């Protein structure tokens, strides 16, 4: 049997949760119980933090940091989470087992903003590569992109960026985000 964990120490847990939804204590208890945290309190804190930042009804990754048995929630949005948030769709209404496509249009300026937010995670050398990564995620989600007042499929926009027809500004990620 492994040794017991010091409940007064510091630790991080990474979870993927649906934002703004109360998590059942039974699902969190096996993860936070060994650290001496109250599962109901942790679930309520996760629900409040994700709803306050506008992720209600969207699956989002979080980092639960605990120090001296006091949990703190940090949201770690992925590109798909940020795209769905930018589409401003409500919670899904279909039954759980059905496939869900996000039929909407997102402005190209929002794609640039998302790419700047996630630039520090990308391995591409320029922002245009990160923008193409985000457009690939748009393609897999099923949404279109509004570029110069015309609705385009994300793959067409990727080809235009590769051909040099669409200009993407230069951007370097801030040094504090690189850690």
Cα–Cα dist 149/10, whole Å: 50
Superfamily of domain 10-76: Ribosomal protein L11/L12, N-terminal domain (3.30.1550.10)
**The pLDDT value given to residue 168:** 84
| Residue 177 pLDDT greater than 80, yes or no | no
pTM: 0.82
For CA atoms 165, 171, 172, 174, the dihedral sign is: negative
Strand (E) or helix (H) holding 144: strand 144-147
Question: Phi/psi of residue 37, each to 5°?
Answer: -100, 150
Q: Pull the structure tokens for residue 12.
A: 């991080």
Quote the pLDDT of residue 155.
Answer: 93
| Whether pLDDT at 178 is above 50 | no
Q: Which CATH architecture has domain 79-92+101-174?
A: Orthogonal Bundle (1.10)
Q: For the chain, which residues make up each domain, given as ranges?
A: 10-76, 79-92+101-174
Of residues 173 and 140, more confidently modeled:
140
Q: Which of 97, 103, 101, 49 is nearest to 73 (CA)?
A: 49
C-beta atoms surrounding 18 within 10 Å: 17
**Predicted confidence (pLDDT) per residue in 123-168, tens digit:** 888 889 999 999 999 999 889 999 888 889 999 999 999 998 888 8
Q: CB-based burial of residue 90 (10 Å sphere; 0-12 exposed, 13-18 middle, 19+ buried)?
A: exposed
């Amino acid at each position: 049997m492994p040794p017991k964990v010091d409940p007064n120490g510091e630790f991080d847990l990474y979870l993927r949760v649906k934002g703004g939804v109360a998590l059942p204590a039974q699902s969190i208890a096996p993860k936070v119980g060994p650290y001496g945290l109250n599962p109901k309190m942790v679930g309520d804190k996760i629900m409040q933090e994700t709803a306050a930042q506008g992720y209600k009804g969207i699956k989002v990754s979080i980092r639960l940091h605990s120090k001296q048995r006091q949990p703190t929630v940090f949201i770690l949005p992925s590109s798909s989470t940020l795209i769905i948030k930018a589409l401003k769709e409500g919670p899904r209404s279909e039954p759980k087992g059905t496939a869900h496509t996000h039929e909407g249009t997102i402005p190209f300026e929002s794609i640039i903003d998302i790419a700047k937010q996630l630039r520090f995670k990308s391995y591409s050398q320029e922002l245009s590569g990160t923008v193409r990564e985000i457009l690939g995620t748009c393609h897999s989600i099923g949404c279109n992109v509004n570029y110069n007042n015309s609705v385009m499929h994300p793959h067409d926009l990727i080809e235009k960026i590769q051909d040099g027809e669409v200009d993407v500004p230069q951007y370097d990620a801030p040094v504090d985000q690189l850690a």
